């Protein structure tokens, strides 16, 4: 009594394998769920372009209905969607970075408001997240500090993290004055003396030489200097 034969595939299956239908024999559809799903998939594949046009026309004609249907579907499948999104983000970290950067650029003011609100509501958590980011992105942190100093001094030019790395590699990651391992980036002509923030005015420097040189200009380079010219 609880079994039915599907005329499409010829298999005898439980009634739970058939969609319910009022007026249908036994209160279910004649064909089983598997056969119906296969037919629907074949139909969509054969009429893909026509269905796409019809769906676009429907969305344009009834935008509110579409939004309501999407919201209803999301609520009904929220956990599944979140799990699928999390799995996709793990598999595609590079795409996630590109899409996130694109979103932040398109919604700059919204992102600033969100960051300000999050910091006000969770200052300790926000500081910890900032510290983790700085530890994981030292070159980006250097870029931000360098360009921020330049903006405060109204200096011309901009240097990206990649350009700063290239300048340091040009000097072998060594201080251009004494040859010791570099620990910072120096503006050869100081910003306060009218120097630019273009990469050509940047060189790697150790903390000691950076402290001795400071913002002096013109600066008398010691005889042991490794620098060749000012803005090479």
Global pTM value: 0.44
Average pLDDT over residues 202-228: 76
pLDDT reading at 227 higher than 50: no
**Residue 232 domain flag:** no
Do 101 and 149 belong to one domain? no
| pLDDT tens string 138-169 | 777 777 777 777 777 788 888 888 888 888 88
pLDDT reading at 112 higher than 90: no
CA-CA distance, 200 to 183, in Å (whole number)? 18
Q: What is the CATH number for 192?
A: 3.40.1800
**Residue 195 domain flag:** yes
- Find the distance separating the first CA and the last CA of the chain, reported in whole Å: 91
pLDDT reading at 228 higher than 70: no
Nearest residue to 186 (alpha-carbon basis) of 194, 199, 170: 199
Do 200 and 170 belong to one domain? yes
| pLDDT tens string 46-96 | 999 999 999 889 888 888 888 888 888 888 888 888 888 889 999 998 899
Residue 12: give the domain boundaries.
3-73
Query: 203: Cβ–Cβ under 8 A, 6 or more apart, which residues?
Result: 167, 171, 176, 185, 186, 188, 227
**Res. 226 pLDDT band, cuts 50 70 90:** low
Low-confidence winner among 1-15, 25-39, 217-231 (lowest mean pLDDT): 217-231
């Amino acid at each position: 009594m609880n079994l039915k034969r599907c005329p499409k595939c010829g298999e005898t299956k439980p009634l739970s394998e058939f969609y319910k239908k009022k007026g249908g024999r036994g209160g279910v559809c004649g064909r089983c769920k598997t056969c119906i799903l296969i037919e629907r998939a074949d139909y969509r594949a054969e009429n893909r372009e026509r269905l796409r046009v019809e769906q676009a026309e429907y969305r344009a004609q009834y935008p509110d209905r579409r939004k309501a249907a999407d919201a209803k579907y999301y609520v009904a499948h929220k956990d599944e969607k979140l799990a699928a999104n999390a799995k996709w983000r793990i598999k595609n970290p590079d795409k996630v970075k590109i899409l996130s950067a694109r979103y932040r650029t398109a919604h700059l003011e919204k992102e600033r408001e969100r960051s300000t609100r999050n910091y006000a509501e969770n200052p300790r958590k926000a500081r910890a997240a900032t510290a983790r980011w700085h530890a994981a992105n030292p070159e980006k942190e250097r870029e931000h500090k360098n360009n921020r100093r330049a903006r405060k001094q109204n200096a011309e030019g901009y240097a990206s993290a990649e350009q700063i790395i290239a300048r340091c590699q040009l000097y072998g990651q060594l201080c251009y004055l004494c040859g010791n391992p570099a620990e910072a980036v120096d503006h050869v002509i100081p910003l306060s003396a009218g120097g630019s923030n273009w990469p050509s005015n940047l060189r790697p420097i150790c903390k000691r030489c950076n402290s001795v040189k400071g913002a002096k200009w013109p600066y008398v380079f010691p005889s042991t200097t490794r620098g060749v010219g000012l803005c090479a």
